[in-house]
Amino acid sequence: METVIHTVIAQMQPILSCDQLKQLSEVLSHALAPESETRSEGMNLLSLFLTAKEVEGCSPKTIAYYESTIRHMNRAIGKPYTTIGSDDLRRYLADYEITRKASKVTIDNIRRILSSFFSWLEDEDYIVKSPVRRIRRVKTAVIAKEVLTDEELEALRDFCTSPRDLALVDMLASTGMRVGELVRLNIEDVDLQERECIVTGKGNKQRPVYFDARTKRHLQLYIESRQDTNPALFVSLRGETPERISICGVEHRVRTLGKRAGIRRVHPHKFRRTLATHAIDKGMPIEQVQRLLGHAKIDTTMHYAMVNQSNVKASHRRYLE
C-alpha cells in the first residue's frame, strides 16, 4: 500500500503544491487502509481529543457530551474523521434537525462541538483545514426566559417546611451559584462572619460567592439544627444517616416548593438567572456580574441576564428625551 501511495505522490509532485500533496497522501492512506485500521485510528483521534479537553479542565459531564456527539456524527456519516468534508457535515446537521425535530439552539451546539474537534485535528496537523470553518453559526431566536419575582421568592420561602429548605432557597437566590457548586459545598467552606463561601465551578476553578444577612441567619439556624457529623453543608432529610444532597435532590425539592407556591417551572438554574438579571437591572457592571457567576466569557453572562424593559424605558426618557 505504501509503495502505491509513494508512486502516486511522486507522479503528482510537478502538479500539486505541498499542502495538496499532503492532503492527497492522507486521502490515499485512508482509502487504501484496512477498515479495522481506519476505525482504530478514528477511535485514537477521538480519545486523544477527549484527553486534551480533560487537561483543559472540562468536567466529566462535558467530556461525555463531546464524545457522544462526535461518535453519533461519525456513525451517521460513515467516514474517517480526517476525510470528512464541509458538505458531509452540512447534510448531517440538516438530517439531524429534520429527523430529531431539533431546535436551532441544539443544532448550533452540535456545530460548536464539531468545530472544537476539527479545529483540534487541524492544530495537531491531522488535517489541513477544519471542514467546520465553512459552516456558519446557526442563527437562533432570542427567547426571553422567565425569572423569579420578589413576590415569588417570598412565596417559596413561605412554603419551606424545614430550616434546610429555607437555607437552600436563600443560598440559591442570594449567591446565584450553580446547583453543582451548591451540592459540593462543605460546612467549612462557609464563612458566616464575612457572609461568603468558596465554591468550585467548571474546570475545577474556585471563586468566592457572597450571600446576604437573611441567608446568614437561616444558615446559622440550619447548621445549629444539625445533629449529624456529615461535612456537607446540605444533606438529605431522609434516612437515619444523612447523606450529601444530590443535584437531583435539589431539583426535586425546589420543584416541589414551586408547585406548592403555584409558581411555574421552578428549578435551580432559574435562581441563577434571576440574580444575574436583578444585578444588571440595579446597575452592577457586567464584568462584575461575570465574576460573580464564574463565567469564562462575558457573552455567556449576557445570555443569562435580561435587562428589565421598564428600565430601558426609563433610561430612554432620561437620556434621549
Task: Indicate the pLDDT class of residue 43, thresholds 50, 70 and 90.
Answer: low
Tell me, what DSSP letter sits at residue 57?
A: T
Whether residue 202 lies in the annotated active site: yes
Please give the residue that has the higher pLDDT: either 48 or 25: 48
Name the active-site residue from 202, 207, 255, 267.
202
CA distance linking residue 275 with residue 261, whole number of Å? 20
pTM of the complete model: 0.68
Whether residue 96 lies in the annotated active site: no
Name the active-site residue from 304, 316, 317, 318.
304
> Per-residue pLDDT tens for 186-203?
999 999 999 999 998 877
pLDDT of residue 184: 94
> Per-residue pLDDT tens for 275-295?
988 888 888 888 898 999 888
Q: Which three cell numbers stand for residue 294?
A: 464564574
CA distance linking residue 247 with residue 179, whole number of Å? 6
Mean per-residue pLDDT over the chain, rounded: 86
Q: Do domains 33-134 and 150-320 have the same CATH topology?
A: no
Q: Which three cell numbers stand for residue 282?
A: 440595579
Residues β-bridged to residue 209: 197
Whether residue 65 lies in the annotated active site: no
Name the active-site residue from 184, 216, 253, 295.
295
Beta-carbon contacts of 1 under 8 Å, excluding residues fewer than 6 positions away, are 32, 33
Helices (H), 104-189: 104-123, 150-158, 163-175, 179-184
Domain 150-320 belongs to what architecture? Orthogonal Bundle (1.10)
CA atoms within 13 A on the CB side of 19: 5
Name the active-site residue from 184, 272, 273, 278.
272
Whether residue 133 lies in the annotated active site: no
CA distance linking residue 96 with residue 76, whole number of Å? 9
Task: Indicate the pLDDT class of residue 36, thresholds 50, 70 and 90.
Answer: very low
Tell me, what DSSP letter sits at residue 160?
A: -
Residue 314 CB neighbour total at 10 angstroms: 11
Whether residue 303 lies in the annotated active site: no
Q: Which three cell numbers stand for residue 15?
A: 502538479
146: left (phi over 0), alpha (psi -120 to 50) or beta: beta
CA atoms within 13 A on the CB side of 36: 0
> Per-residue pLDDT tens for 52-89?
998 887 878 888 899 999 999 999 999 999 999 999 99
Q: Quick check: 4 pLDDT over 70?
A: no
Q: Counting beta carbons within 10 angstroms of the beta carbon of residue 63, is it exposed (0 to 12), middle (13 to 18) or buried (19 or more)?
A: middle
Residue type, 17: S
The domain limits of the chain are: 33-134, 150-320
E-strand stretches of 180-304? 190-191, 196-200, 206-210
CA distance linking residue 27 with residue 49, whole number of Å? 21
Domain 33-134 belongs to what architecture? Orthogonal Bundle (1.10)
Q: Considering only 40-54, 61-75, 209-223, which range has the smallest mean pLDDT?
A: 40-54
Q: Are 245 and 235 in contact (CB under 8 A)?
A: yes
> Per-residue pLDDT tens for 222-270?
999 999 999 999 999 887 788 999 999 999 999 999 999 999 999 999 9
CA distance linking residue 1 with residue 5, whole number of Å? 6
Whether residue 205 lies in the annotated active site: no
Name the active-site residue from 111, 164, 178, 273.
178
Tell me, what DSSP letter sits at residue 178?
A: -
